[in-house]
Structure 1
C-alpha cells in the first residue's frame, strides 16, 4: 500500500543524499522526487564537498559509514564552515549502538535514521528539520532587518553562523577574521559578563549581548551599534535577560506590528504572542506595549 505523502515542500527544497550504495541512492531519489524535492547525489565525502561548492543544499541525508572519509568526519567539516553550518544533517546508519548515535550528534547531526530505511519515517523527519531550519533562518534574517546582528557559537566556542550585519560589524570593529583569537575572546567576554563593548571606527560602540542557549550546544549573541555610552533604555533591556523568542517579539513590536502580525511572522498563535508580551512587560518593568516598544525603539534608533 502506497504511503501518503508527508508534508511536501511548498517551494522545492534541495536535498543532498550522500551514500555509496546504489540501491539506497535510487530508492531515496525516487521517494524524494515524488515528494517534490530537488535531489543532489554524492557517493563519498569528496563528491559531497564538491556539491556544496556548487550549490548549498537545504538538507543532507548522510550515510555514516562510507569508503574513505566517513560521514561523521564529513559532518564536522560541513559544520566548521560558517556558510554551510546552518544546513541540517540527518545521518543514515546501520549502527544502532549508543556510541555511534552520540558521535553523530556530537559531529553536528540533527537526527538519524536506522537502516534498512523506512521511507515514510525518513520523509517525516526530513520535512520537520527543513521546516525548523526555515523558521530559524527567517528569525535570524529578521534580526538584521531590525538593525541588529546575531552570532551563533557551537559547543566549542566557534562561530557556527553569523548574520550579514554581524559579519560587517565584527570586521569593522576587530578587523579581518583571519585570526579568530581576538574575536573568540571578545565573544567569550560577552558570555561571561552578559555583555561587552568595543569601539567602531565611526566613534560609536559595538555591543555584544549574551542571549543564552538556543539549542543543544548552540549559544546566541546579539550585536547592536550604539552611541559612546549605553543609554538608560539600553541598560534596562540588557538587564531584562529576554529569551531569543521574546527578543524577536519585542523587535517586531517596536516596528509597529500587531499581535496577529507578529504571530504570522514568527509562526505562532496570537495567544502565544500575548504570553510572551506578558513576560516581556514583567522583565522590563512596564505595564503597556507602548512603553515596551518605546524602550526597544530607542535602541533601534541608536543602531
Structure 2
C-alpha cells in the first residue's frame, strides 16, 4: 500500500528500486484499491520473469477484487463500531453530518436537519466548505488513521453556521468524513421520522409523489430546476436510495409511519 503517491512516484521510489535490485524484478502490476479524495492505496505484484501473461493478469484481477471486498468489510465494521460507541455514549442528541467527496457538508439525521434549517440559508441543501476549512479538516482527520483501513474520531473546530464549535470527525477510505456534535432538541418519533428531510425537501417530495417533474415542481415552488435536483440528491442520500421512484416510495412509507 502507498498513501499520497501517484503510480509514477511509487515506481520511482527508493522502496521499489530496492525491491527490483534484491529480487531481480523485471515488471510490476499496479491495482487501485482505494481511490479516495484524501487517501489512495495500491496493490502491487512484482514479476521476475519476462513479460506478464494473460493468466497472470486474470489472477491479479481476481486477487484485487477479493482484497477490495475485504477492505470494504473491515472499514464498514470499524465505522459501525465507533459510530455506535459515540452515539450510545452521548448525553445529548447528536447532529450527524457527512462531508462528501465534493467537500460539501450534508445533514443526515433529524437533529442535523433542524440545525441546517435554522442556521443555513433557504434552499441550502448542502454547505460547501471553504478552502481553508477543507485544509483544516484534512490536517486533523489525517491523524485519525490507526492503520490503512481503521480510523478513530478526531476533533476539529469548524463554523457550520452557528459559530465555531468542536466537531467529532471520522474519516473514511472514500474520502468522506462523518461528523457529529451535540445539540439541543429531541429525537423524532413515529411519523416525525420524515423530518430527516428539510421543509423544502418535503415540499418537493410531495409534488414528486403527485407525479410532477423536477421542472414542474420548480415552477410551483418558485425555485430553479437545479435547486430541485440538488435537494433530490440530498433526499436520495438521506433515504438511502438511488432514484426518485425509490425515494418517493420510501418518503410515503415514512409519512405513513412505516
Question: TM-score with structure 1 length normalisation?
Answer: 0.30
| Greater RCO, CA 8 A, separation 6+ | 2
Bigger Cα Rg = 2
